[in-house]
């Protein structure tokens, strides 16, 4: 899944910033356009606007405190997570430095699933990185601006949907299938708490009106804490020992690892100090954790408000301590994607308490309205609600728009931001070809050229004589390849093969040509073996040319190809290049073609660069 590029590769970082700025401007435009349209329509249809204002007083109960806490809290968290996704190293680093390590200890099928997503990301780092930013910012804004109604519940569902995507592909199921699972490190994954919160936000209003919901939330948390206590107490997982055979125990190791993350010095010293304390008192620390988790679990299961209040306070304090001393805030180091699990956990616990202790008062309705409340909603002005065909008529839409609240318009804008992020990623996802920016970041871009390409006549792998002149009328993608080279040349050959596949429809008009860059290993048998090794023997428009040492060295000189016969078991010293020659035999591009790390993503990217160059020439008049 690794693209192999440097995390702060300047080309990628600049392109990522550019994409974010462009999409940010579009997001702004979405909100401005919607606001202007809304204001205009309200001015145009004052009756609809006023009708809505009159009916707004008849809405249901006020949003309860627990829901407000979840909605605003998780809205802010999503926005914050989105901002974290905009860090410069994210585009390149997320798959290899975040996703892959998280999945490394999970079973093979989890790694396979996660690697698939990581590979997809590494093929399209710009689109993927930007999409994560805008989807999360969009969901956050949506939660913040939609306090009630269908829009608000949909925001909760969006949080559930995206949260599950992140939990599965970004957090490898929160590590629940991996050894070492512990609440202290963030199990079962911070974003799973986002999912739970989103589900609670998506509940219908009737669920708000009873303390039953609060009891259920706290009972669920009670079971969770009790389970985590058992897990924490389980022997043989390295938590009971601060140090083990001279090595750090599990918790000590985690603290030491987190302390090494780039961060403010005072914070690192706190985390390191906790690691040292745990190294000396590992048993006591784990005993404390086990007892506290068990007690909290038991109290939450009782459902007794007088016990639950101090338990909630204790949970919040414990979460904050864990967040600072063990999770190390979670978002530092340049590749933090969220503040980890403790802040969401504290929010969820507090919301559960509020749902239990502060049930909203029931809305009192006039006696005559009781029957009306049971009947279908007649809609504004007491009319029977029209069918969907009527509601999508232009006039009806205009009325609806004029009657819409500012929250609804802002929600629509937030949905627009989510689509802004998701659509380019979906489009990129549909393409199995990597972004050419990976190749450009490794070797830079080429300068357009236009001069007659130096001629040559050599022998093909089939034993036939081939000259550049004989290829006139075709676009020639040319590269020097050493037939016994063990590193770059096989990668370049793969890139040419993939370029041929991308050009499948135009393959008769493009010739993929390699010239043997080894003046010693010139035998046809060698280049034929190389072709078989690289799966090129059956590619119809592939030519691998060789000749005598004198013939080859003449071509090297004409094309300015460096070549040095190195002694003592070294391979031939050579450079990596690709030349694009047009149908008239003119040199049009000379590409540095060092294949870099040779990952699947970079190979695909170089292939796309070659194919693009050929297609440009084929499409030019």
Partner 1 sequence: MSTPRRLTAAAFVAAGILAAGCGSTAPAARLPGGAAAPSVPPPLATSLASADATWAVVVMGGSAAQHENFWQLFARPAGSGTWRLVTPPGTPDNGGLVLAGTAGQSLITGFRPSQDLTFSPLIATVDDGSNWSQSGVLDTGLADVPDALAAAPGTGRLLALLAGGAAELGGSGGTAWTTLATQRSLGASPAGRACGLGSLTAAAFSPAGVPTLAGACGRPGTAGIFAYAGGAWHAAGPALPSSLARQPVEVLRLTRTGTGIVALLAAGTGPAASMLAAWTGDGGSHWTLSPLLRLDGRRLLSASFGAGGAVAIVLNGSHGVTLAGPGSSWQPLPALPPGTATLALGPGGWFDALAVHVTKLTDWRLAPASRAWHDAQAINVPVQFGSSS
Region from 31-39, 52-60, 323-331, 480-488 binding partner 1, contact rule CB under 8 A? 480-488
Query: Residue 329 in 3-state DSSP?
Result: coil
How near is the Cβ of 525 to partner 1 at its closest, in Å? 5
Nearer to partner 1, 365 or 523 (CB): 523
Q: Which span sits near partner 1 by CB under 8 A: 188-196, 211-219, 294-302, 487-495?
A: 487-495
Question: By CB under 8 A, what part of segment 312-371 binds partner 1?
Answer: none
- Closer by beta carbon to partner 1, 267 or else 529: 529
In the bound state with partner 1, the residue whose beta carbon lies nearer, of 367 and 568, is 568
Minimum CB distance to partner 1, residue 521 (Å): 5
Q: Tell me, rounded to whole angstroms, the distance of Cα 29 from its chain centroid.
A: 24
Residues 555-574 that bind partner 1 (CB under 8 A): 565-573
**Which one, of 171, 184, 194, 283, lies nearest residue 225 by Cα?**
184
Whichever of 72 and 520 has its CB closer to partner 1, that residue is: 520
CB 4 within 8 A of CB 597: yes
> Which residues ranging from 86 to 105 are in contact with partner 1 (CB under 8 A)?
none
Under the phi-then-psi rule, with left for phi > 0, alpha for psi from -120 to 50, and beta for the rest, what region is 454?
Answer: beta
> Both tokens of residue 114?
């996660």
Looking at the DSSP bridge assignments, the partners of residue 135 are: none
Stretch that binds partner 1, among 40-48, 75-83, 488-496, 609-617 (CB under 8 A): 488-496
Per CB under 8 A, the segment of 181-189, 302-310, 426-434, 478-486 that binds partner 1 is 478-486
| CB-nearer residue toward partner 1: 113 or 529 | 529
Token pair of 549, please? 């040492």
Q: Which is nearer to partner 1, 60 or 573 (CB)?
A: 573
Near partner 1 by CB under 8 A: residue from 258, 485, 581, 601? 485
Least distance from C-beta 19 to partner 1, angstroms? 34
Query: To the nearest whole angstrom, how small is the minimum distance from the Cβ of residue 602 to partner 1?
Result: 14
Which member of 490, 575, 585, 597 binds partner 1 (CB under 8 A)? 490
Q: Which of residues 491-550 bind partner 1 (CB under 8 A)?
A: 491, 518-523, 525-526, 528-530, 532-533
> CA 98, CA 90: separation in Å to the nearest integer?
9
The CB-of-444 to partner 1 minimum distance in angstroms stands at 21
Q: Residue 225 or 530: which CB sits closer to partner 1?
A: 530
DSSP string, 222-234: HHHHHHHHHHHH-
Q: Are 545 and 536 in contact (CB under 8 A)?
A: no
Nearer to partner 1, 63 or 594 (CB): 594
Return the structure tokens found at 471. Answer: 């290829």
Residue with smaller CB distance to partner 1, 320 or 565: 565
Nearer to partner 1, 200 or 572 (CB): 572
Q: Alpha carbon of 559 to those of 59, 228, 455, 493, 555: distances in Å?
A: 78, 67, 9, 19, 6
CA separation for the pair 495, 613 (Å, rounded):
13
Closer CB to partner 1, 176 or 520, in the complex: 520
Cβ closer to partner 1: 66 or 593? 593
- DSSP secondary structure of 58-126: G--SPPPHHHHHHHHHHHHHHHHHHHHHTSTTHHHHIIIIIIHHHHTTS-HHHHHHHHHHHHHHHHSHH
Of the candidates 184, 183, 187, 193, the one whose C-alpha atom is nearest the C-alpha of residue 78 is 193
Q: Decide: helix, strand or coil at residue 398.
A: helix
From 65, 23, 129, select the one nearest 419 (Cα to Cα).
23
Question: Applying CB under 8 A, does 487 fall inside the site for partner 1?
Answer: yes
Nearest approach, Cβ of residue 462 and partner 1 (Å): 17
The CB-of-407 to partner 1 minimum distance in angstroms stands at: 59
**386: which DSSP letter?**
P
Residue 453 DSSP code: P
Minimum separation from the CB atom of position 519 to partner 1 (A): 8
Contacts 24+ apart (CB under 8 A), 241-248: 241/282, 241/283, 242/278, 242/279, 242/280, 242/281, 242/282, 242/283, 242/285, 243/279, 243/282, 248/275, 248/279
Nearer of residues 30 and 572 to partner 1, judged by Cβ: 572
The dihedrals phi and psi of 218, each to the nearest 5 degrees, come to -70, -35
How far apart CA 47 and CA 381 sit, in angstroms, is 12
Q: How far is CA 201 from CA 157, 190, 565, in A?
A: 8, 17, 70
Size of the site for partner 1 (CB under 8 A): 29
How many CB atoms are closer than 10 A to CB 88? Answer: 18
Choose between 486 and 620: whose C-beta lies nearer to partner 1: 486
Binders in 571-590 for partner 1, by CB under 8 A: 571-573
> For tokens 């050894």, what's the residue?
179
7-26 residues near partner 1, rule: CB under 8 A? none
Residues 68, 210, 460, 484: which binds partner 1 (CB under 8 A)? 484
Smallest separation (angstroms) from partner 1 to the CB of 518? 6
Residues belonging to the chain: 621
Give min distance, CB of 549 to partner 1, in A. 10
Shortest Cβ distance from residue 527 to partner 1 (Å)?
10
Tell me which stretch binds partner 1 (CB under 8 A): 59-67, 170-178, 233-241, 484-492: 484-492
Rounded to a whole number of angstroms, the minimum distance from the CB of residue 492 to partner 1 is 11
Three-class DSSP category at 367: coil
Which residues share a beta bridge with 592?
Answer: 577
Is 375 or 570 the residue whose CB approaches partner 1 more closely? Answer: 570
For the CB of residue 613, give the shortest distance to partner 1 in the complex, in Å. Answer: 25
- Least CB distance from residue 544 to partner 1, whole Å? 14
What is the distance in angstroms between the CA of the first residue and the CA of the last residue of the chain? 40
Q: Site mask, partner 1, residues 437-476, x = CB under 8 A?
A: ----------------------------------------
Residue 484 C-beta: closest distance to partner 1, Å: 5
Q: Of 121, 114, 98, whose CA–CA distance to 12 is shortest?
A: 121
**Residues contributing to the site for partner 1 (CB under 8 A):** 484-487, 489-491, 518-523, 525-526, 528-530, 532-533, 565-573
């Amino acid at each position: 899944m690794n693209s192999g590029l440097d995390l702060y590769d300047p080309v990628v970082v600049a392109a990522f910033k550019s994409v974010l700025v462009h999409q940010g401007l579009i997001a702004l435009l979405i909100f401005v356009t919607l606001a202007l349209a809304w204001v205009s329509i309200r001015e145009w249809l004052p009756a609809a606007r006023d009708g809505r204002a009159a009916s707004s007083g008849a809405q249901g109960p006020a949003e309860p405190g627990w829901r407000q806490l979840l909605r605003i809290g998780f809205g802010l968290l999503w926005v914050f997570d989105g901002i974290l996704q905009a860090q410069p190293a994210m585009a390149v680093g997320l798959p290899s430095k975040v996703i892959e390590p998280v999945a490394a200890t999970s079973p093979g099928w989890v790694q396979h699933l996660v690697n698939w997503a990581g590979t997809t990301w590494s093929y399209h780092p710009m689109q993927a990185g930007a999409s994560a930013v805008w989807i999360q910012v969009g969901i956050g804004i949506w939660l913040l601006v939609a306090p009630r109604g269908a829009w608000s519940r949909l925001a909760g569902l969006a949080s559930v949907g995206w949260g599950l995507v992140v939990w599965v592909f970004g957090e490898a199921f929160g590590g629940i299938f991996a050894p070492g699972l512990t609440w202290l490190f963030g199990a079962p994954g911070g974003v799973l708490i986002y999912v739970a919160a989103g589900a609670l936000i998506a509940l219908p209003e009737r669920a708000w009106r009873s303390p039953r919901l609060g009891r259920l939330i706290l009972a669920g948390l009670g079971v969770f804490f009790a389970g985590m206590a058992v897990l924490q107490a389980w022997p043989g997982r390295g938590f009971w020992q601060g140090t083990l055979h001279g090595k750090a125990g599990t918790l000590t190791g985690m603290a030491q690892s987190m302390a090494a993350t780039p961060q403010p010095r005072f914070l690192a010293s706190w985390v390191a100090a906790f690691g040292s304390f745990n190294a000396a008192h590992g048993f006591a620390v784990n005993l404390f954790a086990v007892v506290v988790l068990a007690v909290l679990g038991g109290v939450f299961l009782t459902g007794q408000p007088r016990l639950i209040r101090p338990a909630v306070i204790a949970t919040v304090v414990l979460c904050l301590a864990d967040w600072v001393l063990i999770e190390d805030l979670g978002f530092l180091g340049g590749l933090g994607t969220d503040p980890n699990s403790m802040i969401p956990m504290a929010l969820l616990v507090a919301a559960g308490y509020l749902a239990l202790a502060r049930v909203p008062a029931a809305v009192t309705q006039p006696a005559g309205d009781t029957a009306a409340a049971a009947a279908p909603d007649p809609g504004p002005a007491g009319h029977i609600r029209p069918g969907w065909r009527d509601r999508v008529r232009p006039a009806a839409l205009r009325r609806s728009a004029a009657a819409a609240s500012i929250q609804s318009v802002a929600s629509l804008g937030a949905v627009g931001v989510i689509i802004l992020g998701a659509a380019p990623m979906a489009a990129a996802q549909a393409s199995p070809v990597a972004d050419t920016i990976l190749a450009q970041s490794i070797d830079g871009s080429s300068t357009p050229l236009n001069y007659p390409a130096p001629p040559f006549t050599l022998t093909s792998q089939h034993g036939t004589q081939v000259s550049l002149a004989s290829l006139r009328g075709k676009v020639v993608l040319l590269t020097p390849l050493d037939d016994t080279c063990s590193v770059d040349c096989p990668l370049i050959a793969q890139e040419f093969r993939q370029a041929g596949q991308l050009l499948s429809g135009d393959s008769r008009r493009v010739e993929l040509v390699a010239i043997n860059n080894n003046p010693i290993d010139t035998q046809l048998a060698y280049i034929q073996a190389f072709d078989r090794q690289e799966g090129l023997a059956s590619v119809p428009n592939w030519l691998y040319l060789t000749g005598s040492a004198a013939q080859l060295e003449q071509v090297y000189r004409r094309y300015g190809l460096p070549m040095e016969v190195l002694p003592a078991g070294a391979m031939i010293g050579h450079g990596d290049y690709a030349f694009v020659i047009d149908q008239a035999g003119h040199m049009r591009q000379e590409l540095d073609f060092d294949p870099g790390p040779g990952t699947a993503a970079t190979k695909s990217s170089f292939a796309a660069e070659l194919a693009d160059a050929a297609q440009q020439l084929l499409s030019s008049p």
